[in-house]
Amino acid sequence: MDPIIIVGLVVSLALFFDFTNGFHDTANAMATPIATGALKPRTAVAIAAVMNLIGAFLSIEVAKTISSSMIQDDAIALITPQVVFAGLTGAILWNLTTWFLGLPSSSSHALFGGLIGSVVVYFSFTAVNVSEMVMKVFLPALFAPVIAGVTAFIATKLAYVLTARSQNSRNKTGIGTGRSNFKVGQIFSSSLLALSHGTNDAQKTMGVITLVLVAAELQASGDHVELWVVVSAAVAIAIGTYSGGWRIIKTMGTGLSEIRPVQGLVAETSSAVTILASSNVGFALSTTQVASGSVIGAGLGRKGGAVRWSKAGQMFVGWMLTFPAAAMVGGLSALLTKFGGDVGLILDAIITVGVIIAIFQISNRNKIGHHNVLDSEVSEAVDVVKTAKQLKKEALQAARAAKKNGKKK
């Protein structure tokens, strides 16, 4: 098969992964403002899409990590587009599986797992740059969610203490802002988080495409990223984000903790700062894990705040399974492409497309979208501080409804 055709196929698959990354990780930035009522679902994902697009242009440090640091220098020269294709297959299939199940697993670790699994099958484990993977992937994965969670916990405690007097006054007299302005703040904090997501996750696709171009000898080295690669990756993740990962938004916004506007703002800000700092030094961070850590920390920070540890446990299991599961699928895909040649590559592509279609078809049977993402207990999770005017309006609406029901009887 013509190498250019294979490169085109791999680039298309990489951009599709970028698309799935967008709707898979939309929840990272927008689950909490949707859950607290700070933003309407469609408005939230539109803002996230724009900010992801902008963020993708701000840095390429993570892209360099993917294209030149994951694999040993002597092995990079042996990498072929088929190796990357097989790795992407593992990442995409695991991404879609966890999306279907509503589990906010790490798209980043799915990508790393798929690529490493493919590289090991094609070459050996010695081709993996273990020290760089530990320093720039595994250690950040371990510490970043903890740091974000602890920061969110402390900041939430502090926020409630500082606003306690104002909130008590508002509860008694209906005068003052109390904590109502935190909803407005969430618009900015969630936008910042979406921006940080673009600076980290879009770059991973840029790095993969750059790796393919180097492997096909269409680019000299992986220490820079072509402009068309940056633009295409930015647009793909933005479109994916606007598609909305409603299943995961529901888990993040309603399944982990009873989130109120104060906690939402703190969680988003903690996540954004952590991710932006990591992107600046080239750490390929899991934005999902950081956002989850922040949500849990903020949930524990409020007095009486409850974290659903059973749901958190399910997420943790998903995190632990992501890397090996994606590596296994990537390895199996690599076996097909390595020993099956062009026929194996075509067969691999057909199987991948078939599984993708099947997952989407099954998911449509129980579709979750912007119209029902807030069903269940979300309304109880939102801390809406009502004014006297709002209370009067609600009382009037209740009286009208009661009168209407009385007439029907």
In sequence order, the 6+-apart residues with CB closer than 8 A to the CB of 399 are none
Q: How far apart are CA 36 and CA 387, in angstroms?
A: 17
**Would you state the pLDDT for residue 39?**
78
Q: How far apart are CA 144 and CA 268, in angstroms?
A: 14
**Would you state the pLDDT for residue 224?**
79
Q: How far apart are CA 56 and CA 190, in angstroms?
A: 16
The neighbour count for residue 185, using CB atoms within 10 Å, is 18
With CA atoms as reference, report the closest residue to 98 among 332, 326, 387: 326
Q: How far apart are CA 116 and CA 317, in angstroms?
A: 20
pLDDT, tens digit only, all 409 positions of the chain: 777 888 898 899 889 888 887 776 666 677 777 777 777 777 888 888 899 899 888 877 888 777 777 788 777 777 888 898 999 998 888 878 877 776 666 777 888 899 999 999 999 888 888 888 888 888 888 888 899 889 999 998 888 888 877 666 655 655 555 556 777 888 888 889 889 888 888 888 898 898 888 888 888 766 778 889 999 999 998 888 877 655 545 544 444 455 677 888 888 899 899 988 888 877 877 777 888 888 888 888 877 766 677 767 777 777 788 889 899 999 999 999 999 988 988 998 899 889 888 887 876 665 555 454 444 332 222 332 233 444 456 567 777 777 766 665 5
Residue 233 near residue 98 (C-beta atoms within 8 A) = no
**Would you state the pLDDT for residue 293?**
85
Amino acid at 406: G
- Cα separation values, 240 from 27, 104, 105, 146, Å: 12, 16, 17, 28
* Full-model pTM: 0.73
**Would you state the pLDDT for residue 48?**
84
The neighbour count for residue 176, using CB atoms within 10 Å, is 15
**Would you state the pLDDT for residue 327?**
92
